[in-house]
Amino acid sequence: MTSPIENVLIVGLGLMGGSLAWAFKSMMPHLMVGGWDADELVTAEALRRGLIDRVEPPGYPHISRYQAVFVAVPVRAIPPLLMEIAAMASPGTILTDMGSTKSHIHETLERHLGAGVVYVGGHPMTGSERGGLAAADPFLFENALWVLTDPGGKAAEAARLLAALLEGVGALVVPMEPAVHDLVVSLTSHLPYLAAVAVTNALTARFADPAEALTLAAGGFLDTTRVAACPPPVFRDIFLTNRENLLAAIDLLSAELWRVKMALSIEDEGALEQIFQRAQRVRSSLPRSRRGFPVSHFEVVVKAHDRPGFLADVATLLGQRKINIKDFALLHVREGEPGTILLGFRSEEDGEQALGALASAGFTAERR
């Protein structure tokens, strides 16, 4: 579905806002994109690079020209900024955001939104350990889930228009109630970050200089602690705006660690194995997607050769055959995978065509 929205404003041109602007201009060049950032140099750079078409001056004097406004600022700054914009926006303007928690925003705006201005919460389930416009990526939202929150369907038409717009940059839109969203991400996003922080800090607590221990850090440590490299203020604000859910999640994690500790303290091999098996069953049942794509209907593993251009050759071959790769990941042989490159395809037909093309070109590939 093509969105009738033709003019958008992006407030905040860091990683998320800058990536969205770039994606809009790359994939929907007809869309008129305005931009504003608290740092005038950032706004000027976005304009110079063609990521936005116009700079919105401070105070948003031209806010009435925009049909939709995306607010991409730190999560605790979102409610007051949305209220400021809502006070000046024209009836029919759609307000949305890119914050990681939703309930506190909905609760605030329900008391302050003017007549005719509608708000639909948004959370793109993607990101990077790096921040700022320099880290922007026009493909950041490709095949990534983008949650839209509209309590009770009160802004159903606005949500529909936003969904069409976001699908234009490759996002997979998922409707969800704000409270459900915040509960889910407390366990699937915020608690894993906290676990990564705890594991990293545990290492530094045991070793005054962790450099020697880190020489032995393999995939388990590196994969588990990757998100600990995220900018601390980002998760500080996320935690404070989802406090109750996260406190409950911490209790659950603490209980699980206590069970392991008790079983270990009495050398209960059976209890330890049961705990590990339960986690193994759940983890093995999860979709294998690496970037938020819910399920790749057909996955192919390609054995890679250690030579320059191997990956480019695979991509070029499939591109020439008009076979679209929907998901991609590098796998590690030491983890028992049958190959080193994972390709995901939307349909079984695409997957079978890819297998045939790869085999005919001399690549070793198999269905996963």
Cα torsion 70, 71, 75, 76: sign: negative
Lowest mean pLDDT among 174-188, 269-283, 346-360: 346-360
The tally of domains found in the chain comes to: 3
**292 located within any domain:** no
For residue 337, pLDDT beyond 50: no
132, 154, 176: which is the final residue of a domain? 176
- CA dist., res. 60 & res. 90, Å (int): 12
For residues 288 and 184, the model is more confident at 184
The neighbouring-strand residues paired with 172 are 145
Are residues 356 and 246 located together in one domain of the fold?
A: no
| Virtual torsion, Cα 214, 217, 220, 222, nearest 10 deg | 60
Are residues 76 and 138 located together in one domain of the fold?
A: yes
Instruction: Give 51's DSSP letter.
Output: S
Are residues 145 and 278 located together in one domain of the fold?
A: no
**15 located within any domain:** yes
Q: Are 293 and 330 in contact (CB under 8 A)?
A: no
Instruction: Give 330's DSSP letter.
Output: E
**Max CA separation in the chain (angstroms):** 69
What average pLDDT does range 168-173 have in this prediction? 93
pLDDT tens, position by position, 38-64: 999 999 999 999 999 999 998 888 999
For residue 365, pLDDT beyond 50: yes
What pLDDT, on the 0 to 100 scale, is given for residue 291?
A: 47
**293 located within any domain:** no
264, 285, 306: which is the final residue of a domain? 285
What pLDDT, on the 0 to 100 scale, is given for residue 67?
A: 96
The CATH number of residue 233's host domain is 1.10.3660.10
For residue 315, pLDDT beyond 80: yes
- What pTM was estimated for this model as a whole? 0.78
What average pLDDT does range 236-243 have in this prediction? 95
**2 located within any domain:** no
For residue 332, pLDDT beyond 60: no
Are residues 223 and 313 located together in one domain of the fold?
A: no
**1 located within any domain:** no
Q: What's the start-to-end Cα distance of the chain, in Å? A: 33
- CA dist., res. 363 & res. 291, Å (int): 25
363 confidence band (pLDDT: 50, 70, 90): confident
The CATH number of residue 322's host domain is 3.30.70.260
**66 located within any domain:** yes
What average pLDDT does range 335-356 have in this prediction? 75
For residue 313, pLDDT beyond 70: yes
Give the residue numbers spanning the domain of 321. Answer: 298-367
For residue 223, pLDDT beyond 70: yes
Burial class for 241, CB neighbours closer than 10 Å (0-12, 13-18, 19+): buried
For residues 301 and 44, the model is more confident at 44
- CA dist., res. 201 & res. 353, Å (int): 47
For residue 197, pLDDT beyond 80: yes
* Token pair recorded at residue 108: 């605030």
155, 176, 197: which is the final residue of a domain? 176
Return the beta strands (E) in 77-117 as ranges. Answer: 94-97
Are residues 149 and 275 located together in one domain of the fold?
A: no
333 confidence band (pLDDT: 50, 70, 90): very low
Are residues 139 and 198 located together in one domain of the fold?
A: no
User: Token pair 């995978």 is at which residue?
Assistant: 337
Are residues 190 and 149 located together in one domain of the fold?
A: no
Q: Are 301 and 368 in contact (CB under 8 A)?
A: yes
For residue 169, pLDDT beyond 80: yes
286 confidence band (pLDDT: 50, 70, 90): confident
What average pLDDT does range 322-351 have in this prediction? 70
What pLDDT, on the 0 to 100 scale, is given for residue 122?
A: 97
**88 located within any domain:** yes
Three-state secondary-structure class, residue 18: helix
Are residues 169 and 188 located together in one domain of the fold?
A: no
Are residues 252 and 303 located together in one domain of the fold?
A: no
For residue 329, pLDDT beyond 80: no
- CA dist., res. 340 & res. 208, Å (int): 36
For the ranges 121-130, 158-167, 214-223, 276-285, the maximum mean pLDDT occurs at 158-167
